[in-house]
Each structure stands twice: as C-alpha cells, then as structure tokens.
Amino acid sequence: MGRVSGRSCIVTGAAQGIGRAIGEALLDEGADVCFADMNAEKVAAVAASNEGRASGAGGMVTHATVNVTDRAQVQAMIGHSVSVFGKIDVVFNNAGVNKPMNFLDATEENWNFIMGVNGLGCMIGMQEAAKQFIRQGGPGKIVNTASIASRQGFDNVAPYCASKWAVVSLTQSGARDLAKHDITVTGFAPGVVATEMWEEVDRDLMSIGASERPGQAMEEFSSEILKGRVAQPQDITGTTTFLASRDSDYMTGQIVMIDGGMTLV
C-alpha cells in the first residue's frame, strides 16, 4: 500500500517540471491522478506515457487541458476528474509562470500576467476544489506551490515574488475559512529546481543584462544552498506525496520549505 493509495488527485502545471514529477510520484504510491495543464498536446502525452505506471500501482490516470485563470475551465477540469475517478481528494495548485524584468522596468503587463496565473489562478483553483469537497461532504486537501520567492523579495523578479507571497496568504486565508468543512490547505516552497522554467529564466536574465553567460544566474543564485546543489523535481516529491496523504491531516495553513537549506525561516 502506498501512502496515497485510493486517493484521487489533480495536479495543475503537470505537463513538465515539478507538476509532472508530483503527479508521477502520486501514481507510484497508488493514487489516481489527473495531469492538468494549458499545454494540451504535452499534457496528453504525459498522461499517455503514465498509463502503465498507474495501472501497475493500482491507480488511474487522466488529463485535462486548463488555463487556471479561467474559472469555467477549472470547473470543467474538476468535473472531468470526478467523472473519471468518482471523487476528488486532493488538488495541487502548481501551475506558475515567471518573466524576469529589472525592478525599475517591470510593467503592468508583466505584473498582470504573473499575478494572474500565480495569484488569481491559485485562488480560483482553491475555491473550485473546496466547492467540490463540500459537495462530496468533505474532507479534502488543497496544496499550493509557493517558493523561496515567497519568503524573500528578489530584485529582478518583483512581480513573481509578490505573486508567491500571495500564495502564502491565500494558503493561510483558505486554511482559516475551510477548516470548518474539514478541508486543509498547505503549501510547499521549492528553492532552485532544474526545470524548463529555470532554463527560460536564465535566458531572460541574460536578455535584461542581469547575467552574462548561460547558467551564471543559477550558479550565483544557488551558491548558498546548504545541500550544495540545486534540486531535481524528484527532490520535491517525497514531501508533496506526504502533503497529499493522511499523514499530514493535522497540518493546515503551513508552507513547507524544500530548498536544500537556502532560506532559513
């Protein structure tokens, strides 16, 4: 029996990177998983490639195309998952974006794009997950992806940091409001994880003059990691499966740092 056997989960931003790894780790421990992402083709391929993994561990796999900023699409993602699995136990609000700009250059467009996906997308995901848990008669778990950028403000990514601080406050507000329905809300905060997001951030930081060569930003940014290396997505998943499991039932309103000892708060 895995830690999440028989539990039905949705993971957004699951076409690649951390979200994909979260979903695959849940499948490995017997959960049903809906991989959800706005990249329709890629998320369908990820789900298809995990069919064997799911049936081997006793779970089911499906996928949904969703833009997390669109409430109707989030409702459809939840409806689809319920139609396949019969219920939902855990929703991971993991989809996120970043687009570095120097502090004095950051624009309204940059703010609205990043806050839209990371902030509003998280709130809509929490609300629609909670409504489904309440319809089912509870309980339920919501797990949000925060960041070291939700513990410190960094100069080239101010709207991103603001959006990840928003994830922390949404986690706390949701935990306070939803406890009466037996719904817990937690989050986790990765440090530097080697994903496509970081490859793009690296390119963007070079284009705004904040670094000079590929890999420089990641090296400098992560030089203080006590564990001595950046994370792979699989470094995150022991904790995320715990947050989806009954072992974390008495936790709510908390953010777990998983950053190799980069930010000691």
Ligand X SMILES: NC(=O)c1ccc[n+]([C@@H]2O[C@H](COP(=O)([O-])OP(=O)(O)OC[C@H]3O[C@@H](n4cnc5c(N)ncnc54)[C@H](O)[C@@H]3O)[C@@H](O)[C@H]2O)c1
Region binding ligand X by CB under 6 A among candidate stretches 2-10, 50-58, 62-70, 78-86: 62-70
Residue from 87, 131, 164, 227 carrying the catalytic annotation = 164
Structure token pair of residue 221: 């940014």
- Is 164 annotated as catalytic? yes
Quote the Cα angle for 33-123-191, to 5°. 70
Minimum CB–partner distance for residue 35 and ligand X (Å): 10
CA Rg, the chain, in Å?
Answer: 18
Minimum CB–partner distance for residue 86 and ligand X (Å): 24
Quote the Cα angle for 13-71-134, to 5°. 95
Per-residue binding letters, 224-263, with ligand X (x by CB under 6 A):
----------------------------------------
Decide: is 198 part of the binding site for ligand X (CB under 6 A).
Answer: yes
Count the neighbouring beta carbons within 10 Å of the beta carbon of residue 240.
Answer: 29
Decide: is 145 part of the binding site for ligand X (CB under 6 A).
Answer: yes
Cα 96 from Cα 67, distance rounded (Å)? 11
Decide: is 184 part of the binding site for ligand X (CB under 6 A).
Answer: no
Residue from 99, 141, 160, 180 carrying the catalytic annotation = 160
Q: Virtual CA dihedral for 128, 236, 170, 34, nearest 10 degrees?
A: -10
Residue keyed to tokens 């777990």: 256
Residues within the interface to ligand X (CB under 6 A) = 12-13, 15-19, 37-39, 66-69, 94-97, 117, 121, 145, 147, 190, 192-193, 195-198
Please identify every residue annotated as catalytic: 160, 164
